[in-house]
A = this chain, B = another copy of it.
Amino acid sequence: MGKRSGETYHHGNLHETLIAAAIELIRDKGPNAFSLRELAKKAGVSHTAPYRHFKDKNALLAAIAETGFKTLTERTRNAAMQFDGNPKQQLIETGVAYVELALDNPEITLLMFGGFIDTEKCPKENLDSEADNAFQGLVNLIESGKQSGVFRNEETELLALATWSMVHGLAMLITGGQLCGIADEPDQVRNLSEKVESLLMEGILLR
């Protein structure tokens, strides 16, 4: 008998509920101050119920980071799609999307890249399969840009890595609070992202 959800012994879909509630908690209090017991209370279950769905706290955090990588892939892909056929603009918009996502979700971004999650050795397996997806989109974009003669004929992986480093660095500086006063508001961030990436395109050397 299912009177109202929450009154039954079995929750129904604790798994997704936990992830959603955890994201909320992390948004509020940061990835550090996040506790499984508080999460369980928020979800209305006993404090050991989450262990039926996640091996341990780390696994839950990894699942959340995974969703973060998914939306990162989505958003950057969408941004690129809107300027199909214009690789330069695509690259810029991809970067802007990357940085803007970080600005929108600073705590989740820290969770994704801040070393909160123990990924044994090199995270080539589960978690970073998604991170690789985002990177792969960048690689494809650059490859096609090279073939249409927009980008230099350097190793594609290198060009992609440079671009990734640039936007990732900007994103992490912002979420880490290092750019307070310079990049607080969304329009500041977009403006900065565009300028910085233009520099990467044009180079900073005088010619």
Q: Which residues of A contact B (CB under 8 A)?
A: 30-32, 88, 106-107, 110, 113-116, 118-119, 121-124, 128, 131, 149-154, 157-159, 161-173, 175-182, 192, 195-196, 199-206
- Copies of this chain held together in the complex: 2
A109's nearest neighbour on chain B, judged by CB, is: B115
Q: Which residues of B are found within 8 Å of A161, using beta-carbon distances?
A: 170, 179, 182, 192, 196
Measured between C-beta atoms, what is the minimum distance from A207 to chain B in Å?
8
> What would be 6 A-B contacts, judged by CB atoms less than 8 Å apart?
A123-B180, A124-B180, A161-B192, A162-B196, A165-B196, A166-B200
CA distance A206 to B153 in the complex (A): 8
Selected from B30, B177, B195, the residue in CB contact (under 8 A) with A123 is B177
Q: Which residues of B are found within 8 Å of A149, using beta-carbon distances?
A: 206
Q: Which of A31, A107, A178, A200 has most B Cβ within 10 Å?
A: A178
Judge whether A205 and B150 touch: CB under 8 Å.
yes
